Amino acid sequence: MDKIKVLFVDDDVTLGNIVTMALEDSGYEVHYQTSLTAIKPVIQELAPDIIVLDVEIGNKNGIDITPELKIIAPEIPILFVSSHVDASEVVKALNAGGVAYLKKPFEIEELTAYISRHTAAFHMQPMQIGRFTLNAEDNLLMKGEEVVKKLSVFESKLLKLLMLNMNKVVTREQIERELWEGGYANEQSLNNYIAKLRKYLSEDESLDLITIPKVGYKLSQN
């Protein structure tokens, strides 16, 4: 299963490494670079799902190069990050083609929320796991041409989150943040959702939905 690909360009190496590790831990594939050098061929070869672009990169400006990037990749959303909070700079960035302008310092959760919002089309693509396919658009769990289960919207979102973090632990806090939008998740309700997904996936013995006590859950494949 393909991961969402993020091209992250920022000349702050410390921040870049922290953000890269955090995004990878959240299930993204990240290509990080510290300059705009060869940015066009990188975009064409990598075909990222989103570009996270610093405004000031060395002596260059990410906003100024955006129109050129939009010519070669008009469909790829560009999310600007910057410590500059001047309104005119934000307007300039959005007029250049940016989808949003995130002000530094920012929380990783805030960044991932923007990435998730602007790569929503990716999540609508069918996702393969073992013998199953999750048709996210219609919330259908398929096995070949057979519909195994018409999932509820929440079941579909929860399964997608687990699939995007295949073989990694998804914490309860992450589920609350991403699926309950920061609200409190009822423990028994979440346990019930997990039990239902475990039942649906039981037809493929290579899959295992594991509960990590007091931590979260992990979807793995043998």
- The CATH fold of domain 5-121: Rossmann fold (3.40.50)
Distance in angstroms between the alpha carbons of the first and the last residue of the chain: 15
State the amino acid at position 157 in one-letter form.
Answer: K
The length of the chain is 222
E strand residue ranges, the chain: 5-9, 29-33, 50-54, 56-57, 60-61, 78-82, 100-103, 127-129, 132-135, 140-143, 146-150, 169-171, 207-212, 216-221
pLDDT of 184 reads 56
Query: Rounded to the nearest 5 degrees, what angle is found at the Cα of 104, between the Cα atoms of 70 and 26?
Result: 75
Q: Please state, as a whole number, how many other Cβ atoms lie within 10 Å of the Cβ of residue 222.
A: 8
- Secondary structure tally for the chain: helices H, strands E: 9, 14
Distance CA 100, CA 111 (A): 11
Work out the pLDDT band at 180, boundaries 50, 70, 90.
low
pLDDT of 64 reads 94
Given a cut of 50, whether residue 1 has pLDDT beyond it is no
Give backbone dihedrals phi and psi of 17, rounded to 5 degrees, phi first: -70, -40
Give the CATH number of domain 125-221.
1.10.10.10
Which residue ranges make up each domain of the chain? 5-121, 125-221
Distance CA 107, CA 27 (A): 17
Mean per-residue pLDDT, 172-201: 79
Of all residues in the chain, what percent carry a pLDDT higher than 90?
Answer: 57
In whole numbers, what is the pLDDT of the chain averaged over residues? 88
Q: By the 8 A CB rule, do 66 and 96 touch?
A: yes
What is the torsional sign of CA 215, 218, 160, 8? positive
